[in-house]
A and B are shown apart, each in its own frame.
Chain A
Amino acid sequence: AQSVAQPEDQVNVAEGNPLTVKCTYSVSGNPYLFWYVQYPNRGLQFLLKYITGDNLVKGSYGFEAEFNKSQTSFHLKKPSALVSDSALYFCAVRDIRDDKIIFGKGTRLHILP
């Protein structure tokens, strides 16, 4: 069965420092991977995706993610964190059999001023 794991409930980073939010996945076949961000009382905003191609994917707001097939990981990264990056981040994988998206449980990112 397809699944996504986000091992950290919360990540704290000082403003200006690099940040990483971890994600591992389990899929049969080639993975379609996504990162979404959710601000309080809001829906999900798409950040970036990996379908095929370069292992380093660049997305919105300066975020990027590194796809690692051997480690089945898709970690979200940003070189320099902003206080406004504080939010709930979800890693997700698309199940091509029925087109549903399977989400991780989310990681709350706190950027400390």
Chain B
Amino acid sequence: DAGVTQSPTHLIKTRGQHVTLRCSPISGHKSVSWYQQVLGQGPQFIFQYYEKEERGRGNFPDRFSARQFPNYSSELNVNALLLGDSALYLCASSLRLTEAFFGQGTRLTVV
């Protein structure tokens, strides 16, 4: 069985640019969540989508947005990148209120 897949695995962007990160959940999972993990810290919740609707939003600026597609895959978009956006971005899929399964993450470096 395929796990959660994220793309790309690494990327480098310049301040002010825009980035799109992608996630494919485990087959049958309708919930996708996004987390930001800054070096040395635990993951911080950004968004949660269930059945293509936003069900939760963390304390992140409006530069961060996301969506979920009919096949339950998801995109995370970040506009006007800042140096502080450099982090490991993790996608998780789950059935509601059970354990979440995480992808390997996308390492974003903003220079």
Query: Is B a genuine binding partner of A?
Result: yes
- Nearest B residue to A44 via CB reads B102
**Chain B 82-98 interface mask (CB, 8 Å, partner A; 1/0):** 00000000101000111
What separation, in Å, do the CA atoms of A49 and B42 have in the docked complex?
18
B30 CB → nearest A CB, Å: 11
Contact assessment for A98 and B99 in the assembled complex, using a CB-CB cutoff below 8 Å: no
Q: Does A110 contact B (CB under 8 A)?
A: no
Q: Does A90 contact B (CB under 8 A)?
A: yes
**Chain A 10-38 interface mask (CB, 8 Å, partner B; 1/0):** 00000000000000000000001010100
Contact assessment for B55 and A99 in the assembled complex, using a CB-CB cutoff below 8 Å: yes
List B residues 48-84 near A (Cβ within 8 Å).
48, 50, 55-56, 58
Residue total for B at the interface (Cβ-Cβ under 8 A): 27
Contact assessment for A105 and B102 in the assembled complex, using a CB-CB cutoff below 8 Å: no
Pick from B33, B42, B45, B90: contact of A43, CB under 8 Å:
B90
What separation, in Å, do the CA atoms of A111 and B33 have in the docked complex?
32
Pick from B42, B45, B99, B102: contact of A100, CB under 8 Å:
B45
Contact assessment for A103 and B55 in the assembled complex, using a CB-CB cutoff below 8 Å: no
Contact assessment for B97 and A94 in the assembled complex, using a CB-CB cutoff below 8 Å: yes
Is chain A's interface secondary structure helix, strand, loop, or mixed overall?
A: strand
**Chain A 81-100 interface mask (CB, 8 Å, partner B; 1/0):** 00000000010101010111
Contact assessment for A43 and B104 in the assembled complex, using a CB-CB cutoff below 8 Å: yes
A14 CB → nearest B CB, Å: 26
Most buried by A among B42, B55, B56, B105: B42
Pick from A101, A102, A106: contact of B41, CB under 8 Å:
A106
Q: Does B103 contact A (CB under 8 A)?
A: yes
A99-B55, A99-B97, A100-B56 given as contacts; is B45 within 8 A of A44 (CB)?
Answer: no
